[in-house]
């Protein structure tokens, strides 16, 4: 369910019958009230600020996931590009890009440095890898004019592909090299000018926190901070420390201050806000906190965001879901699916669960909610 300034703003009609039965059982156990009392109690529970369980998230997943139609052609189920990957970090961009494919995107690209490209290519032949980015060490003997020309060439090469993409994922394995960050900031500016949605994670958030203008006011941008990244964003934008006693209000304020950018605050429950509503996804995932799960999330959100936009365009806002911000829908779906896949992987692998195990359960988890046939 959605929360708008602390008040339920939709999806109440999607409440799970299973949840209602549990509520009725609890009420009967506490004193056996009448049907009218039960109905009144249900309305009261729907009227208060609440977190989304599996039912609402699954409704979103079912609504926005496209059917597998033989009439569709390659590319219609999504074309995703990950911008990241340098000498030190090659796993993160792979996790984000391959997760997008495992969920159902048709094509997944990675734009990285030359030092990362061969390694990423070796992980999977399914990914289209573009070694066009540069780090400072590789151009250390180039003067300022030469650097400007290199930057111009990089942007020119990326712009050839820009209009093909349904969403960008900015930051997995990006690193913090100054010239590389300058390249990516220019790519983000071009993407914004072309109205291409973007999901910003990892070192992309480091870049955004230090240059908030890159996303400020851009409602097709999603930020996915973890606890430390969120802390830095709050300090930068709101000028104070994180207020754990006012999590919903603070997240609303943060999103509003950045101009309606959607923020997915990762945690025990994932909190999502676009400055107008707050949604919490609290489906149980896994106690195993291996690195790389945020990369799965960013790739997943990118796919579901693009599917949500297609769904809204096709239905012309005829339903409650289709009247919801597609960035919020993408976050709900991505968060829910990751948690379900992580739970399933942990059930099999326990303490030895790795990010690759979770990725292998993405398809099975989605199939359980949205059968292909």
Angstrom distances, CA of residue 306 to CA of 75, 123, 241: 12, 25, 34
* 270 belongs to an annotated ligand binding site: yes
DSSP-assigned beta bridge partners for residue 3: 8, 278
CA angle (224, 227, 229) in 5-degree steps? 60
As to burial, measured by CB atoms within 10 angstroms (0-12 exposed, 13-18 middle, 19+ buried), residue 145 is exposed
Contact indicator for 103, 366 with CB cutoff of 8 Å: yes
Contact indicator for 41, 83 with CB cutoff of 8 Å: no
* 8 belongs to an annotated ligand binding site: no
C-alpha radius of gyration, the chain, whole number: 21
Residue 11 CB contacts under 8 Å (≥ 6 apart), including other chains = 1, 2, 52, 56, 59, 320, 321
* 288 belongs to an annotated ligand binding site: yes
pLDDT tens sequence for the chain (373 residues): 444 443 333 443 333 444 444 444 444 433 444 434 433 333 323 322 334 455 589 999 999 999 998 888 898 899 999 999 999 999 999 999 999 999 999 999 999 999 999 999 999 999 999 999 999 999 999 999 999 999 999 999 999 999 999 999 999 999 999 999 999 999 999 999 999 999 999 999 999 999 999 999 999 999 999 999 999 999 999 999 999 999 999 999 999 999 999 999 999 999 999 999 999 999 999 999 999 999 999 999 999 999 999 999 988 766 667 678 999 999 999 999 999 999 999 999 999 999 999 999 999 999 999 998 6
Euclidean distance between CA atoms 71 and 202, whole angstroms: 37
* 218 belongs to an annotated ligand binding site: no
Contact indicator for 109, 133 with CB cutoff of 8 Å: no
Residue 18 CB contacts under 8 Å (≥ 6 apart), including other chains = 55
* 290 belongs to an annotated ligand binding site: yes
* 294 belongs to an annotated ligand binding site: yes
Q: Measured over all CA atoms, what is the biggest interatomic distance in the chain, rounded to whole angstroms?
A: 81
* 299 belongs to an annotated ligand binding site: no
- DSSP category for residue 246: S
Provide the whole-model pTM. Answer: 0.85
């Amino acid at each position: 369910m959605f929360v708008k300034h602390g008040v339920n703003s939709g999806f109440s009609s999607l409440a799970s019958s299973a949840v209602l039965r549990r509520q009725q059982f609890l009420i009967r156990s506490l004193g056996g009230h009448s049907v009218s009392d039960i109905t009144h109690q249900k309305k009261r529970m729907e009227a208060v600020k609440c977190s989304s369980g599996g039912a609402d998230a699954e409704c979103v997943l079912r609504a926005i996931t496209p059917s597998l139609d033989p009439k569709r052609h390659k590319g219609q189920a999504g074309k995703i590009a990950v911008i990241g990957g340098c000498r030190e970090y090659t796993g993160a961009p792979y996790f984000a890009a391959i997760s997008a494919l495992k969920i159902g995107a048709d094509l997944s690209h990675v734009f990285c440095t030359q030092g990362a490209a061969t390694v990423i290519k070796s992980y999977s032949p399914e990914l289209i890898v573009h070694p066009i980015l540069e780090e400072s060490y590789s151009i250390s003997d180039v003067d300022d004019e030469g650097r400007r020309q290199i930057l111009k060439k990089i942007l020119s090469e990326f712009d050839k592909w820009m209009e093909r993409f349904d969403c960008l994922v900015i930051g997995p394995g990006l690193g913090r090299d100054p010239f590389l960050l300058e390249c990516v900031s220019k790519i983000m500016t071009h993407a914004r000018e072309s109205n291409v949605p973007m999901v910003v994670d990892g070192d992309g958030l480091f870049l955004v926190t230090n240059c908030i203008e890159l996303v400020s006011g851009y409602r097709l941008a999603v930020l996915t901070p973890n606890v430390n990244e969120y802390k830095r964003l709050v300090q930068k934008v709101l000028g104070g420390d994180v207020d754990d006693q006012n999590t919903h209000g603070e997240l609303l304020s943060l999103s509003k201050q950045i101009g309606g950018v959607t923020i997915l605050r990762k945690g025990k429950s994932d909190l999502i806000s676009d400055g107008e509503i707050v949604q919490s996804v609290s489906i149980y995932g896994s106690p195993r906190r291996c690195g790389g799960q945020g990369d799965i999330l960013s790739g997943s959100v990118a796919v579901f965001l693009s599917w949500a936009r297609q769904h809204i365009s096709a239905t012309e806002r005829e339903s409650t879901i289709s009247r919801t911000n597609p960035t919020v829908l993408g976050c709900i779906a991505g968060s829910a699916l990751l948690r379900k896949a992580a739970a399933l992987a942990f059930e099999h692998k326990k303490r030895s669960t790795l990010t690759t195990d979770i990725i292998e359960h993405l398809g099975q988890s989605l199939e359980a909610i949205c059968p292909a046939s």
